[in-house]
């Protein structure tokens, strides 16, 4: 049986001026009678991948140039889809199809299109009109690999541009995108039955988990669990009505979101138990000041520190009732985390929470003044490190095979300073960040995030000169720098700090689940 690798691209354009649209008109071309296969059938822009092609994308761009005369500067890639495997009509050829979706940069270019001998004519159509044409096999399925429901397309754009949310928050957003797309009945437009709906859900899930490579672990965990349980319903209730199936999936999504809240509560309990036992025990006394240093913004770090502040207030209140004179202080030092200053955001949120807590309780000013929140420049962490008692770091990804993490750039500066002064470093995160060993992908963002603080004069003087502005977002921290991980799970009973052996154990239990997306490669 022969195997052929081909690309299929769809060109779209948008009527009107809607920004970031995936297009509402699709180019459909009618194959000529001179081609070898599927004469006089309608198709996208296709061609076989050749040995000298560096990638499927390179071949896609070549085919577009050859078949429409549009160059790579005339179009913008919206997305590339997951490989699709199709068995040929005579069952003698296996087609490996790489789908792409491109947007024409301006509507003026529509009139520039010139087809070659492979096609006899072309039309611009609405996606919903494709069924009215005699097309090459599986063209509709190939199109919907890359042309997604509107709510999903917009949601992916929002997640890609989101520079304020942490990985856990993005995971919740991805579940909300799935839920809203189901509620809006958008999957109904491309799904005739529950089985097709699940396959389209699987495709959307793949995009959601891939949209932010360095933060995909948490997103993938939530999406994968929803998909796995949704598939089990199909197997248990063969022929289930599509509306009943949609309601079941919505319930699964809500259960997953509820589990996130429960995990957050468990993390806070383990955090206090592991690092601040004297605040938990009735007769213990907190002799020393507590000085925490952290960076950036993590919802898990935020909620953990809030729980510590509340515990500390409760402790000081009791100490004051005993008329203790020497009362310890709690200091929280936060690196500003440039260029978007997420650390400053964390400080603001903590301050707002502390103020609201104090105003709604009997906390007096003496106790209130024992809690200090300070923001420092990223470069000054070493200056403040000598008095630090705990260094806390979040994680966007934890490698299941060794415990290495990916986190916001600047993490290593903080950790190396901590190690220089023999301070312990703890990762505070959920276990859903544990995933496959990561391939480091540089997530580099717009230079203007950095240069906006330099001033226009600097920017104008540097234009056209050999100065690069590098805005890297994430970096790796090796497990050798980490003293322990605090999650919603325990190493064993009464042991709240887990080590890499537990991480490996959890990964071995879960890694098979991630293979669910391989089902996208098979047409059945």
Claim to verify: residue 326 and residue 404 sit in the same structural domain = yes
Token pair 């056209």 is at which residue?
Answer: 464
Under 8 Å CB-to-CB from 262, ≥6 apart: which residues?
Answer: 488
pLDDT (tens digit, 9 = 90+) per residue, 191-237?
A: 989 999 999 999 999 999 999 988 899 999 999 999 999 999 999 99
Q: In terms of domains, do 358 and 299 share one?
A: yes
Tokens linked to 95: 């087609």
The answer to whether position 522 is within a domain reads no
**60 with 142: CB under 8 angstroms?**
no
Q: What is the pLDDT of residues 495-512, one digit of tens each?
A: 789 999 999 999 998 888
The domain that contains 359 carries what CATH number? 3.40.50.10470
**22 in any annotated domain:** yes
- Taking CA atoms, 327 is separated from 86, 287, 308, 385, 386, in Å, by 71, 8, 16, 22, 21
Q: List the domain range (segments joined by +) for residue 285.
A: 278-512
Q: What is the CATH number of the domain that holds 44?
A: 3.90.79.10
pLDDT beyond 90 at 69: yes
318 lies in the same domain as 350: yes
Mean pLDDT of the region 47-62: 94
CB atoms within 10 A of CB 506: 18
Q: What count of other Cβ atoms lies within 10 Å of the Cβ of residue 37?
A: 12
CB 381 within 8 A of CB 338: no
Q: Greater confidence, 316 or 1? A: 316
- Do 135 and 171 have their domain in common? no
- pTM of the model as a whole: 0.87
Query: Is residue 302 domain-resident?
Result: yes
Domain boundary among 236, 267, 298: 267
pLDDT band at residue 522 under the 50/70/90 scheme? confident
Please indicate, yes or no, if residue 523 is contained in any of the structural domains: no
Q: Calculate the alpha carbon distances from 226 to 174, 311, 477, 512, 514 in Å.
A: 11, 35, 30, 15, 12
Tell me what the pLDDT averaged over the chain comes to: 90
Q: How many domains does the chain have?
A: 3
The domain boundary, picked from 235, 267, 299, lies at 267
Residues 47, 101 within the same domain? yes
pLDDT, position 464: 79
Please state the rounded mean pLDDT for residues 331-358: 93
Q: What is the pLDDT of residues 81-92, one digit of tens each?
A: 999 998 877 667
Tens of pLDDT, residue by residue over 232-254, are: 999 999 889 999 999 999 999 99
304 and 349 housed in the same domain: yes
Q: Is the dihedral of CA 101, 104, 107, 113 positive or negative?
A: negative
| 395 and 477 fall within a common domain | yes
* 524 has a pLDDT exceeding 70: no
Which of 206, 234, 267 is the endpoint of a domain?
267
Residue-wise pLDDT tens digits, 414-462: 999 999 999 999 999 999 999 988 766 778 888 899 998 898 999 889 8
**Helix (DSSP H) and strand (DSSP E) numbers for the chain:** 16, 18
pLDDT above 80 for 326: no
């Amino acid at each position: 049986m022969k195997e052929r690798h081909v690309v299929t691209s769809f060109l779209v354009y948008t009527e009107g001026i809607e920004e970031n649209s995936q297009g509402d008109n699709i180019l459909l071309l009618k194959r000529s009678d001179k081609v070898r296969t599927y004469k006089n059938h309608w198709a996208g822009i296709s061609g076989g991948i050749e040995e000298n092609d560096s990638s499927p994308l390179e071949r896609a761009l070549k085919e577009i140039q050859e078949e429409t005369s549009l160059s790579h500067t005339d179009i913008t890639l919206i997305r590339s889809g997951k490989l699709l495997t199709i068995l040929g009509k005579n069952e003698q050829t296996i087609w490996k199809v790489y789908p792409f979706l491109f947007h024409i940069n301006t509507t003026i270019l529509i009139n520039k299109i010139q087809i070659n001998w492979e096609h006899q004519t072309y039309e611009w159509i609405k996606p919903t009109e494709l069924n009215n044409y005699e097309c090459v096999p599986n063209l509709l399925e190939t199109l919907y690999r890359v042309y997604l429901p509107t709510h999903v397309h917009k949601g992916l754009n929002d997640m890609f541009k989101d520079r304020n949310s942490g990985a856990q928050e993005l995971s919740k957003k991805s579940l909300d995108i799935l839920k809203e797309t189901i509620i809006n009945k958008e999957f109904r437009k491309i799904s005739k039955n529950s089985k097709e709906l699940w396959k389209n859900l699987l495709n959307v899930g793949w995009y959601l988990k891939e949209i932010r490579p360095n933060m995909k672990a948490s997103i993938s965990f939530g999406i994968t669990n929803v998909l796995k349980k949704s598939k089990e319903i199909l197997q248990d209730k063969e022929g289930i009505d599509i509306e009943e199936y949609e309601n079941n999936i919505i319930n699964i999504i809500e259960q997953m979101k509820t589990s996130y809240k429960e995990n957050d509560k468990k993390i806070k309990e383990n955090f206090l138990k592991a690092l601040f036992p004297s605040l938990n025990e009735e007769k213990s006394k907190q002799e020393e000041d507590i000085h925490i240093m952290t960076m950036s913004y993590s919802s898990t770090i935020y909620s953990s520190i809030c729980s510590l502040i509340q515990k500390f207030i409760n402790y000081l209140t009791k100490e004051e009732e005993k008329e203790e004179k020497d009362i310890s202080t709690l200091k929280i030092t936060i690196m500003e985390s440039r260029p978007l200053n997420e650390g400053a955001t964390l400080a603001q949120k903590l301050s707002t929470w502390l103020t609201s807590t104090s105003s709604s309780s009997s906390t007096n000013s003496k106790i209130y003044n024992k809690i200090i929140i300070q923001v420092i420049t990223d470069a000054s962490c070493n200056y403040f490190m000598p008095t630090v008692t705990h260094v806390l770091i979040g994680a966007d990804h934890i490698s299941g095979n060794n415990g290495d993490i990916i986190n916001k750039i600047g993490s290593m500066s903080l950790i190396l300073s901590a190690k220089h002064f023999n301070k312990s470093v703890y990762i505070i995160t959920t276990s859903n960040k544990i995933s496959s060993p990561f391939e480091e992908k540089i997530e580099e963002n717009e230079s203007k995030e950095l240069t906006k603080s330099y001033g226009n004069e600097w920017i104008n003087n540097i234009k056209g000169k050999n100065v690069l502005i590098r805005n890297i977002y994430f970096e790796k921290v090796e497990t050798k720098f980490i003293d322990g991980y605090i999650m919603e799970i325990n190493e064993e009973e009464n042991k709240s700090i887990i080590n890499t052996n537990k991480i490996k154990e959890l990964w071995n239990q879960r890694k098979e689940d991630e293979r669910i997306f391989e089902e996208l490669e098979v047409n059945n």
